[in-house]
Amino acid sequence: MDEAEQQRRRDAVRDLMPKAPFIAGLGLIIERYDPDDVAVRVPFRPDLTNDGTYYHGGVIASAVDTAGAAAAWSNHDFEKGSRASTVAMTIQYVGACQKSDLVCQARAVKRGKELVFTEITATDAAGKIVAHGLQTYRIV
């Protein structure tokens, strides 16, 4: 498979991921999709909060997981496969996202034979850190 076809497939993942039913329900937008470096945004909506103000932790975790997956796909070699899932993820909540868009910056830090290791930082729109995530993603 030549590099043009590889890039076409990476771009297809970028374009289709936000349309998956659950991700679309969050309203997640992929803002940057560079090789191994991705940014996603979840526009603030009161229905994604605990109380109309603060994002529910599950929303944050979902955005972190999706950002990590996008980073894994952003520079993937499709000769190695196209079926994938999160194998493991840890998240540390270190702040709250109050009436603000949630922004996740993700980068792939190591690519193995099947596993991709990603690091994700979630912030509010002003850049205040909300959570840190580590993800192991498998593509076969």
Give me the domains of the chain, ranges plus CATH numbers: 3-139 (3.10.129.10)
- pLDDT tens digit sequence for 11-20: 999 999 999 9
Q: In whole angstroms, what is the distance from residue 25 CA to residue 59 CA?
A: 11
Q: In whole angstroms, what is the distance from residue 13 CA to residue 62 CA?
A: 17
- pLDDT tens digit sequence for 94-111: 999 999 999 999 999 999
Residue 69: alpha-carbon gap to chain centroid: 5
- Alpha helix ranges (H) inside the chain: 3-16, 21-26, 57-73
Per-residue pLDDT of the chain (140 residues; tens, 9 = 90+): 899 999 999 999 999 999 999 999 999 999 999 999 999 999 999 999 999 999 999 999 999 999 999 999 999 999 999 999 999 999 999 999 999 999 999 999 999 999 999 999 999 999 999 999 999 999 99
Q: In whole angstroms, what is the distance from residue 93 CA to residue 111 CA?
A: 26
Rg, Å, the chain Cα set: 15
